[in-house]
Amino acid sequence: MSATATPAASAASVIKPRIRRTHLALFVKDPHGSAPWYEDVLGMTVTARAERWVFLSFGKKHHDIALIRVEEPSQAVRGEVNMQHYGLEVEGDMEEFRRLYGMLLAKGIEIFKITDHKVGYGIYFHDPDGHRFEFFFETAHDDEEGKRLLGQYNAPSDSFHLDPL
């Protein structure tokens, strides 16, 4: 903060965003072509659509993920500087997590990796445009304990063997 800031300006600068929920918007080649994948693999429901976009929900919100068509096909190239992955923290027990793994395999979804993060396990895979998603099964349910574990183990992504059901 500069020494010349007005009282109003300094008050404005100290407010912190209080995030209630989040949503994700992705550029894709073909939103209407990709939406069925999101319904089939991620269990989402289409809540709104137009020529250039499709909005999808996990069940409660008007939209959790928006698929937006790139203006030009030449823009449909993922650079290295991009979203690394989007983690979907799943409900249920380990048996259900193993069933989700089995579901991905049954649908022919290529599994990128399965990892132990010490605070949970992750199954990574890609959407039709190469956007990486993670089904995340949390094992450290206390958030303070989770922060401590990530620091203690250096936020690991250790390879993990998961048996599908």
Q: Where do contacts with Fe ion occur on this chain (CB under 5 A)? A: 87, 134
| φ and ψ of 139, to 5 deg | -115, -25
Q: Nearest distance from residue 11's CB to Fe ion, in Å?
A: 36
Nearer to Fe ion, 51 or 91 (CB): 91
What Cα–Cα distance (Å) separates residue 20 from each residue in 59, 99, 113, 129, 144?
17, 30, 30, 28, 20
* Contact assessment for residue 128 and residue 28, using Cβ atoms and an 8 Å cutoff: yes
Nearer to Fe ion, 87 or 146 (CB): 87
Q: Nearest distance from residue 124's CB to Fe ion, in Å?
A: 8
Nearer to Fe ion, 83 or 94 (CB): 83
Buried b (16+ CB within 10 A) or exposed e, 118-136: bbbbbbbbebebebbbbbb
Question: For residue 44, which of 27, 30, 24, 28 has the smallest C-alpha distance?
Answer: 24
Q: Nearest distance from residue 144's CB to Fe ion, in Å?
A: 19
Q: Nearest distance from residue 157's CB to Fe ion, in Å?
A: 9
Residue number, nearest CB to Fe ion: 87
Nearer to Fe ion, 87 or 164 (CB): 87
